[in-house]
Structures are given as structure tokens and as C-alpha cells.
Amino acid sequence: MLVSLSIRDVVLIDRLDLEVPAGLAVFTGETGAGKSILLDSLSLALGARADSSLVRPGAERLTVAARFEPPPGHAALALLAEHDIEPEEDGALILRRTLSAEGRSKATVNDQPASVGLLRQLGDCLVEIHGQFESHGLLDPRTHRPLLDSFAGLAQPLAATRAAHAGWRTAAKARAAAEAELKAARAEEDTLRHHLAELEALAPAPGEEGTLAEARTRMMHGERLLEGMNAALAALKGSDDGPETALATATRHLERVAPQAAGRLDGVIGGLERASVELAEALAALEAAAADIDLDPSHLESVEERLFALRALARKHHVEVDDLADRLADIRRRLDALEDGGADLARLAKAEQAARQDYVAAARALSKARTQAAANLDRRIATELPPLKLDKARFRTALTELPEAEWSAEGVDGIAFEVATNPGRDPGPLNKVASGGELARLMLALKVVLAADGTAPTLIFDEVDSGIGGATAAAVGERLARLGETLQVLVVTHSPQVAAKGAHHWRVAKRPAAKGKAELTTVVEPLDAAARAEEVARMLAADTVTEEARAAARRLLEPTR
């Protein structure tokens, strides 16, 4: 709810800090005292269009700050998270607007720069304003469907419809993707078959590029490698005094004297024997490697041809050489899909149709529940209209089935609140049929019935009592008081019957700005019991407050038993 409102230099307001409690709060005062300035100021903080004429004459700029404390999980907190703005430590939300005399506007949310659009989004879910000339919230047809669903408690069928819609969308996307792939494959079938023939002729294998590159390197340097290997072989075994003979001779000499060494030569003899074995293995490996050297130029040419062919084909397909085998498998799969006549596509289309049927069934069940709820809502609102001097009005919740292109996760229904204020007329949109006073009272009736629904915890009614009096004004006051039991309700009123129902009462008045100055300034004064009785008496008596008016005011202010 709105916790406080701070206003600086707005028209006739010099400096105003207003603490706003919960419940029904009424603002009264003579015409022209500045009640509308309060609403204009709050509207600025809620993202309304800025007008530099609102800046108090002589001031450089105006500033308005509205502090809110939204309940946990409120939509405003989600909006803050979307824009990476942290709430205050106590969870509060501060909307601030500054406007210079030159027309430059600046907006902040919790002291962080923000767009006016964000202020407007936050304002729309924090406050609903209903008046003779301005209303929002219930007048927006986009709010009617969620309000009806919330009123009727349709969370379960709505969740089922959303789940079915998500399943249908998923199935439709899968079918569309397969259809697009099949269409593309058919369009390039000749190209695919040409690529298949190329790849199958070459038959690439994973890892083949590395093997061929290694073989090519060996062949290109074959003569040098063979020369080095032969030289090594000659050095190792080219004479009787080579390392093999030396190792064998040394081993024999040591073995003859080993018994007299008490085991101290055993390790030496073992090392010589291991060296002899490893030397023999090295010689064998060297001979095998020398034998594998391929000096045939034709073999080198064939290896190079294949290596270069693989690399050229990889460039053509924009893949690595080792990915050519996967490319070959993909082309085969796409051609197989063509050859089976699109059986997979048919299967996906059938799955999509089944998912659509599931969605339609869920949406129809939701529509049936909405139809019943709409009739109940219409009856509830009809009982509220006569006491508000709207006995000739007819409210209707209109449900229409949308074209399939407009079906959504919320169902297939278009929902709009409509009203006819004159007999014989067909109901039409709220804001196009009702007059200013009728519209404000109609909004009041709607809010009384839908008090537990909607997101805005603060309601503002600007002269909802315009053009009415007596019992009708009393009925308006009673309903505002009922709303004040569950929501924060701020009312600007000229009706004593409405003013008497407020849990809190402020008087808006003009006072001299300072001694010796002709300027006036608007002030907002909280009224105690005595001052409140005098204010209600003034509203009853108009020009001169009489004792009869004071007595009538006391009767109006007596608690209802």
C-alpha cells in the first residue's frame, strides 16, 4: 500500500509530507483548495505525463516521492527484479519524480535511475485511480480475464490449459522443424545425392588424416631415415668387437669369479644381462623400422592424393577432415527420410493434432467454468447497482471465442466487462458507455465485488459521489468503507455522507504562504474528532454552519451498530 507521499513545489504546494494509513482515508475541502493537486502529484510519481506548468511559480523544480510497501510476492517486486533494482531493506518501494521549470523530467526507483515507462508499469500494479475524468485498471480489457479467473477460483483448469497449450506448441514446433528439414532436403536432393556419391567414393574414416599425414612424412624423408638407421645398425653390429660381443665377454668373465665375490657381483651381472636383452630388442626394432621404409614414389603419390582429396572435401563441406564420416552419415539420414515418404513427418503431425485436441478439450472446460463464473459475477454486481443510483444500468461479462490465431495459454476466450446505462441499449465497453459519475460508481460496484482480486493494493476515487446525495451518497460511503476493510482506499469527496465513513480524515485548504505575502499555499490538515465534526457540518451547511448542521454531522459520524 501507499505509506507516504512527499511533495515539493507543486503548483500551490510548497512542502508537504503525508503519512498515509491503511483503510479508508477521505480528503475534503472547498472547491479550488487544491485537492486535485494531490492526485496530480501522485500521478507524476506513478509515471503520468509531466507538465512544467505544475512547477510552483518561482521554484526551479518540483519533486514528488511516493513510498509503497507491497505485500510479499506482489507483481511490483517481480518488476524490480526484472530491472535489477533491489527493494529497500524493509521491502519498501520508493518512486520519485523530478520536473524542472524548463520541462526536464527525471525518474528514480529506490534512488536508482529509471524510465518513466517503468514508473508507469509499477504504478499500474500498485494503484488504481477512478474518477470522473480518469480511470485505469478495470477499464483496461486486458485485466478482465485474469480478474474473472481469480474471482471464480479457476487456478486448476487454467493451469491445465496452460500445460496443454505448452504441449501443443512443443509438438507444433517439432513438426514445423521436421517439415522445414524435409522441404529443404527435397529442394537439394540432387545436391545431396552428388555429395553422397563423393563421400562414399572416398569413404573417409575417423582419424585417417593423422595416419596419412604421418605416413606421408615418413615417405618424404625415407632415404634420410634409412641412411640413419643403417648407420646405427652398422655401429651396433658391424664388427666382432661390437656392443653385443663386449657385453657377452664381460658377463662371462664376471660369472667365473662371482662365487668368490660373496654376491657382490650379482647385481652387475644382472644389469649386463638386461642390457644385452634390451640391445637385442632395440636391434630387432631398428631392423623392422628400416624394413618398413617405403621408397616407392608411387606409394607417396597415392598417399598424398588421398590426403589432399580428404582435405579438399572437408573444405567443401565446411567441416574438419575427421568430421567427414559424420557428414556422410547425416546425408544418408536425410536421403533416407526422403525415401520413406516423410513417415517421420506424418508421425509428428499426428502428435501435433493430438496435442491440439488436448488443448481444445482443456480450453473448452475452462470456457465452461468461465461462463458459469461470468453469470455469477453479473448477478453479484447487479445487486450493487441500485443503491448506487444505477438501477437502470445492466452489467454484462461478455465471453467470445477468439480466432484460432489468437488462442493462447490463457484459453480461447475473449473476455470484456460491458455495461448499458440506459434501457433498450446494448451493453458496450465501460469507458465508452458510462458518464463520468456513473463510471466512477460502476467501478466502485466492481471493486466491492472483486475486492479480493486484482493486484493494486491501493484504490483512489476522485469525487465518486459527483451528482448524487442522500441515500445514494450514503450507499457509496458504505461500500467505500467495506473496501477499506481489505484494501487501502483514498477518496476525494464533497459528500458529507461519504466523508463520515472514513477511518481517517484530512482537510485540504489554502493558507497564506507567509506574513506580508499575498501568495497562498495548499496545506493538508489531519482532523481530530472535533475538527472532523465541524468539517462535516460545513459540508452539510454550505455557507453558514448552524447548530442543526453540527447535530446532523454528529449523527453521521456516529459508529454504525
The predicted-structure confidence for 80-114, as pLDDT tens digits, reads as follows 889 988 888 788 899 999 999 998 999 999 999 99
> How many residues in the chain?
561
| Burial tier of 267 (Cβ tally within 10 Å: 0-12, 13-18, 19+) | exposed
Residue 133, pLDDT score: 45
CA-nearest of 384, 409, 403 to 394 is 384
Residues 6+ apart with CB under 8 A from 318: none
Instruction: At 27, list the grid cell.
Output: 480528503
Residue 175, helix vs strand vs coil:
helix
Give the number of domains in the chain. Answer: 1
C-alpha span between 75 and 272 (Å, rounded)? 86
Where b means 16+ CB within 10 Å and e means fewer, 73-84 reads ebebbebbeeee
Domain that holds residue 241: 183-339
C-alpha span between 530 and 395 (Å, rounded)? 42
Residue 2, pLDDT score: 93
Residue 314, pLDDT score: 86
C-alpha span between 229 and 286 (Å, rounded)? 7
The DSSP output letter for 53 is G
Phi/psi of residue 2, nearest 5 degrees: -75, 125
Q: Are 428 and 459 in contact (CB under 8 A)?
A: no
- E strands, 463-549, in order: 488-492, 504-512, 520-526
CA-nearest of 367, 433, 366, 369 to 395 is 433
Phi/psi of residue 248, nearest 5 degrees: -65, -45
C-alpha span between 84 and 332 (Å, rounded)? 49
Whether 378 maps to a domain, the answer reads: no
Residue 220, helix vs strand vs coil:
helix
C-alpha span between 273 and 512 (Å, rounded)? 120
| Burial tier of 271 (Cβ tally within 10 Å: 0-12, 13-18, 19+) | exposed
C-alpha span between 204 and 401 (Å, rounded)? 59
> In this structure, how many other beta carbons lie within 10 angstroms of the beta carbon of residue 159?
13
What residue type is 386 in one-letter code? Answer: P
Residues of the chain with pLDDT under 70: 131-137, 218-242, 257, 286-287, 289-300, 303, 340-341, 431, 433-437, 452-455, 514-518, 560-561
Whether 277 maps to a domain, the answer reads: yes
C-alpha span between 16 and 185 (Å, rounded)? 72
| Burial tier of 397 (Cβ tally within 10 Å: 0-12, 13-18, 19+) | buried
- Side by side, which strands form the sheet with 394-401? 394-401, 413-420, 428-429
Residue 561, pLDDT score: 45
Residue whose entry in the numeric block shows the C-alpha cell 451518497: 473
C-alpha span between 152 and 155 (Å, rounded)? 9
Residue 93, pLDDT score: 92
Residue 469: in which H helix or E strand, if any?
A: none
Whether 257 maps to a domain, the answer reads: yes
Instruction: At 138, list the grid cell.
Output: 478495470
Phi/psi of residue 93, nearest 5 degrees: -130, 120
CA atoms within a 13 Å half-sphere pointing along the CA-CB vector of 275: 14
Residue whose entry in the numeric block shows the C-alpha cell 513427418: 345
